[in-house]
Amino acid sequence: MNSRNIVLFIGGITFGFGLAWGGMSKPEVVLSFLQLKDYGLVLLMGAATVTTFFAINVVPRFLKEPILGGEFKPRTRTLSRNTIVGAIIFGLGWGLAGLCPGAALASLGIGNLPVLAGIASMFVGAYAMGRFFG
Amino acid sequence: MFPLGIWSYIIGGLIIGIGVSFVYILTGIHSTQSSLFSSTMSYFSKIPYFQRKTYLDSREWRLYFAAGVILGAVIYTLTVSPDGWWTSSVGIWRLVIGGFLVGFGTRLSSGCTSGHGISGVASLSTTSVFAVITFILFGVISANLMTMLGVAI
């Protein structure tokens, strides 16, 4: 295991721990947000985004490059029709299953075994996208 | 507005942000989730879309990252979780159809709740802001449509 993979593994453990603590690993919690009954996930996403904002926009002022090498580059994508059509399709699926990709993995970690069917379907969906529209 | 209180959400969000920041400060990598589906496919499919450099370069760390996410939730359950092991009662057909749409849509959109939602918005990407508004809006429509149709969970 090289050092980059170790860092990603530890980062993943932290990410999954936070998803579970914040309840996003439970489809019921996600659905109650999307049904506008509990706005807590706005706080969760806000707290995660503000923390990451400092890492992406402030830390590079004091640190020339990442500690293990590489470069600091904000995550940008070009806006296209696919961005929006894809987000519409994702949103419809999110409201149906109550799961997004990361939360589905964390859901497995809290013992929700039926979510394996959802994760398998995500792979099939991603395959269909790459096979027919990639 | 917050029947479960606000603190578990805020603490959970901060921990997620610390994980993403930790990876970024050490490696410059945006540790996002949904590309895992496409990058892992590069081990099995010769289709040029999956054999792109970005997937070949990231497919290994994305598997370590995903394994970490699962393990992190296991550790939470075994340590501080108030309710222990937990199973959802959302119907399997909702997981299967919803999961397909999530896999297809996130890859077409080039990002999910973490890619567009956390890393993209934190990078001040207007593309990601539009994507986030769109998937939340359609998530709300979809979830409420299910309620209106009388599908409890």
Q: What pLDDT band is residue B151 in, cutting at 50, 70 and 90?
A: confident
What's the rounded mean pLDDT across residues A29-51? Answer: 98
Structure tokens given for A50: 């503000």
The answer to whether B110 and B119 are in contact (CB under 8 A) is no
- Mutation pick from A5, A9, A15 vs chain B, by most beta carbons of B within 10 Å, is A15
Q: Look at residue B54 and tell me whether its pLDDT is greater than 80.
A: yes
Q: What pLDDT band is residue B150 in, cutting at 50, 70 and 90?
A: confident
Q: How far apart are the first and last CA of chain B?
A: 20
What's the rounded mean pLDDT across residues B78-104? Answer: 96
pLDDT tens-digit profile of B96-128?
999 999 999 999 999 999 999 999 999 999 999
Question: The dihedral of CA A83, A89, A95, A96: what is its sign?
Answer: negative
Structure tokens given for B75: 């550790």
| Inter-chain touch A93–B109, beta carbons under 8 Å | no
Q: Is B4 on the interface with A (CB under 8 A)?
A: yes
Q: For residue B128, list chain A residues with Cβ-Cβ distance below 8 A.
A: 75, 77
Q: Look at residue A1 and tell me whether its pLDDT is greater than 80.
A: no
pLDDT at position A134 is 84
Q: Which residue has the tokens 């890393």?
A: B119
Q: Is A64 on the interface with B (CB under 8 A)?
A: no
Q: For residue A134, list chain B residues with Cβ-Cβ distance below 8 A.
A: 47-50
The answer to whether B126 and A79 are in contact (CB under 8 A) is yes
The CA angle A103-A80-A86, to the nearest 5 degrees, is 35
Q: How far is B79 from chain A (nearest CA, A)?
A: 10
Q: For residue B64, list chain A residues with Cβ-Cβ distance below 8 A.
A: 1, 5-6, 8-9, 12
pLDDT at position A132 is 96
Q: How far is A42 from chain B (nearest CA, A)?
A: 8
Q: Is B18 on the interface with A (CB under 8 A)?
A: yes
| Inter-chain touch A16–B22, beta carbons under 8 Å | no
Q: Look at residue B64 and tell me whether its pLDDT is greater than 80.
A: yes
CA-based nearest residue in chain A for residue B114: A102
Q: Is A54 on the interface with B (CB under 8 A)?
A: yes
Burial of B58 (0-12, 13-18, 19+ CB in 10 A): buried
Between the CA of residue B152 and those of A98, B1, B88, B143, B144, what are the distances in Å? 13, 20, 13, 10, 10
Considering CB atoms only, which of A69, A83, A127 is closest to B109? A83
Q: For residue A61, list chain B residues with Cβ-Cβ distance below 8 A.
A: none
pLDDT tens-digit profile of A5-37?
999 999 999 999 999 999 999 999 999 999 999
ipTM: 0.97
